[in-house]
């Protein structure tokens, strides 16, 4: 359907944020590539979605292997870590079918403790936007929703410390939520 991942490279200068770091210290700068995508939707799009996911995971893994292969002088422009997040429309079974997460890539929700109350990002019972456009609406007693929105990271200089959901309240003076999915937010510590 023409859904491609996009990315942006960021250079974070910690010396400007933390006066105790020297600007010449190797730890003073982190080069980070952030990917996002809205992967193929619906159960019928599973094969295409898995191919899209495999492609981004491959790019993340290549960055990770590049940082361990080259000398630090050759790495001036290569990102040292990467994050991939978005509406991936992903099912747990599809990750298993791909053989699980590739070595070096981690799931932020899992690494942050897999809190059950933060698992579901598309919830047609609690979020009327999701229920409005879905044929699938579970009963209140059933498991609610799916974890379609995910965040992965790769790179030894990052460690996930928190994962949260956003957009859980209706927009003031409107009768709807900001989206049919809850927003996701990951917090990391860099070294």
- Residues classed as catalytic: 87
Summarised one tens digit per residue, pLDDT across range 54-72 is: 999 999 998 887 766 655 5
How is residue 174 annotated by DSSP? S
Cβ neighbours of residue 180 closer than 8 Å, sequence gap 6 or more: 122, 127, 129, 130, 132, 133
Per domain, the residue ranges of the chain are 6-190
Strongest mean pLDDT among 122-126, 130-134, 136-140: 122-126
d(CA 39, CA 86): 8
Residue with tokens 């929700």: 109
Summarised one tens digit per residue, pLDDT across range 95-106 is: 999 999 999 999
Report the CATH number of the 6-190 domain.
3.60.10.10
Summarised one tens digit per residue, pLDDT across range 31-55 is: 899 999 999 888 888 999 999 999 9
Alpha helices in 70-168 (DSSP H): 92-97, 108-111, 128-132
């Amino acid at each position: 359907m023409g859904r491609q991942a996009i990315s942006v490279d960021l250079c974070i200068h910690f010396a400007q944020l933390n006066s105790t770091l020297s600007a010449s210290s190797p730890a003073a700068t982190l080069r980070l590539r952030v990917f996002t995508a809205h992967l193929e939707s619906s159960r019928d799009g599973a094969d295409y979605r898995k191919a899209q996911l495999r492609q981004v995971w491959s790019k993340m893994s290549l960055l990770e292997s590049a940082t361990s292969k080259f000398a630090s002088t050759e790495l001036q422009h290569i990102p040292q870590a990467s994050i991939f997040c978005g509406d991936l429309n992903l099912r747990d079974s599809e990750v298993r079918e791909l053989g699980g997460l590739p070595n070096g890539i981690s799931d932020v929700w899992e690494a942050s403790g897999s809190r059950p109350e933060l698992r579901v990002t598309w919830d047609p019972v609690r979020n009327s936007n999701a229920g409005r456009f879905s044929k699938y609406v579970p009963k209140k007693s059933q498991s609610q929703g799916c974890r379609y929105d995910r965040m992965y990271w790769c790179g030894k200089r990052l460690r996930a410390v928190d994962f949260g959901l956003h957009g859980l309240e209706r927009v003031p003076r409107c009768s709807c939520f900001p989206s049919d999915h809850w927003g996701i937010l990951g917090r990391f510590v860099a070294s």
